[in-house]
Amino acid sequence: MKILGIETSCDETAISLIEVDALNNCFTLLGNTVHSQIDVHVPYGGVFPILAKREHAHNLVAVLKQTLDSSDIVHYRSTPLTLPEGINTILGLDPELLTSFKSYISTVEKPPIDLLSVTIGPGLEPALWVGISFAKALSYVWNIPVVAVNHMEGHILTSLIKKVTHKRYDLLSHTLMGPSLALLVSGGHTQIVLVNKSTSGFEYGIIGETRDDAIGECFDKVARMLGLSYPGGPKISKLAHEARLNNIQSPEPLPRPMIKSMDFDFSFSGLKTAVLYLTQKLTGHGTEHLRILTTEEVQGICREVEDAVTDVVVTKIRNAAEMYITDTLIIGGGVSANTHLRQSLEKLAQNISMRVLLPEIEHSTDNGLMSALAGYFSKHKAVAWNDIPKAQGTLPLGPRVN
């Protein structure tokens, strides 16, 4: 079964094509294109939703073309096809996308794709709208069913695979025996989730989540205060690594918010504020003796922020693993690319005899594969183009279960 996954929930325009061999629990990643908009958002210090929407509209057709070309499944027509009229209504709100869609799609034969999948949330609604309209348009023109998927489920499923060769992956879903714990850490989410297999896919229950900032958001905001560009997470990680190598400490310790609370919730806005106060104190903010932070101070603060976040996460996961007897920890979301957090969680898992499943670094941040995998596991929910649900910016993964 061939599935084309479309992902536009934030600042990555991403499309993947996978071919699943259900009998052998494996799939081939036929094509995988991620177009990052980071450069466009850097001047704003974060993702600017309307700009993200415009960029998705600008790039979707090129990303599709690259994915199909690299998959080697598309045949170009010698004479362009006239597309049905309805396309003008479906993409009517995005004239640029409509034009590029018509000029490309009219030149290709319908490819042998069985299912389309598209992220409908959570994420930035304007950004989600374009991806959904695009999926509708493809579904309409090619008459292929489409399934709406949850971005956070995609992050979980991207950890339930194992790379075997360059393009071949094993699916590990059948190796989950009882309930599993999942830690989701991204720019918009920090959640601990109970994952259960059901007859028709997976069921999710949230046992804890952030009450304010997500970890990725905290990293990005702290980075901004330290003069580092968006996205801050990778830069904090690099500077923290340098600090550890050179034994550089933070000028002052920072708090580990909610580390002792008896629940599985998080709060990271206090950590961000503590960094603000510390940098103001160090730089003489509000006094006549203003100065900028030294490189060592920045490195030390990055290390302490990364340590603080990691301490809290490791403690909560240890407590959750004790309360919910599970043998597998799944980690997903952009922040799972963080080496220190990965290694600390791997160490914890080893100590408490838990298996840990992490995404490949290349699939940690947003991508189209996550949408295609989520589509595969929800294929029974596929609908026709005119029944695709609306974008839901705060779409939950499941109910709160404690």
Tell me: does residue 333 bind ligand KG4 (CB under 6 A): yes
**304 or 366: whose CB is closer to Zn ion?**
366
CA–CA distance, 53 with 113 (Å, rounded to integer): 26
Shortest distance (Å) from residue 36 CB to Zn ion: 13
Tell me: does residue 59 bind Zn ion (CB under 5 A): no
Q: Is the dihedral of CA 238, 241, 247, 253 positive or negative?
A: positive
**7 or 94: whose CB is closer to Zn ion?**
7
Tell me: does residue 191 bind Zn ion (CB under 5 A): no
**187 or 300: whose CB is closer to Zn ion?**
187
Binding partner selected for residue 209 from Zn ion, ligand KG4, none, CB under the kind-specific 5 to 8 Å limit? none
**275 or 372: whose CB is closer to Zn ion?**
372
Tell me: does residue 337 bind ligand KG4 (CB under 6 A): yes
CA–CA distance, 6 with 136 (Å, rounded to integer): 11
Alpha-helical runs (H) found in 164-294 = 215-225, 232-245, 269-283
Q: Which of 179, 156, 309 is nearest to 232 (CA)?
A: 309
**233 or 375: whose CB is closer to ligand KG4?**
233
Q: How many chain residues touch ligand KG4 (CB under 6 A)?
A: 19
Among 186, 344, 364, 378, binds Zn ion (CB under 5 A): 186
**Listed ranges 99-107, 181-189, 318-326, 384-392: which one lies at the site for ligand KG4 (CB under 6 A):** 181-189
Exposure string for 124-146, b = 16+ CB within 10 A, e = fewer: bbbbbbbbbbbbbbbbbbbebbb
CA–CA distance, 234 with 216 (Å, rounded to integer): 10
Token pair, residue 362, equals 């290349």
CA–CA distance, 136 with 128 (Å, rounded to integer): 12
Shortest distance (Å) from residue 370 CB to Zn ion: 8
**20 or 124: whose CB is closer to ligand KG4?**
124
- DSSP annotation string for 268-281: -HHHHHHHHHHHHH
Among 126, 216, 359, 375, binds ligand KG4 (CB under 6 A): 216
CB 206 within 8 A of CB 396: yes
Shortest distance (Å) from residue 25 CB to ligand KG4: 26
* Residues numbered 7-36 forming contacts with ligand KG4, rule: CB under 6 A: 10
DSSP reduced 3-state for 194 = strand
Tell me: does residue 307 bind ligand KG4 (CB under 6 A): no
Q: Give the rounded distance of the alpha carbon of 399 from its chain centre.
A: 20
Within 10 A of 165 (CB to CB), how many other CB atoms are there?
A: 7
Tell me: does residue 100 bind Zn ion (CB under 5 A): no
**49 or 86: whose CB is closer to ligand KG4?**
49
CA–CA distance, 169 with 89 (Å, rounded to integer): 39
Exposure string for 357-396, b = 16+ CB within 10 A, e = fewer: bbbeeebbbbbbbbbbbbbbbbbebbeebeebeebebebe
The neighbouring-strand residues paired with 317 are none
* Residues numbered 362-391 forming contacts with ligand KG4, rule: CB under 6 A: 365-366
Tell me: does residue 313 bind ligand KG4 (CB under 6 A): no
Binding partner selected for residue 234 from ligand KG4, Zn ion, none, CB under the kind-specific 5 to 8 Å limit? ligand KG4
Q: Give the rounded distance of the alpha carbon of 28 from its chain centre.
A: 21
Binding mask 224-263 for ligand KG4 (x = CB under 6 A): -------xxxx--x--------------------------
Tell me: does residue 12 bind Zn ion (CB under 5 A): no
**Listed ranges 29-37, 181-189, 194-202, 301-309: which one lies at the site for Zn ion (CB under 5 A):** 181-189
**What residue ranges bind Zn ion (CB under 5 A)?**
186, 366
**What residue ranges bind ligand KG4 (CB under 6 A)?**
10, 186-188, 216, 219-220, 231-234, 237, 333-335, 337-338, 365-366
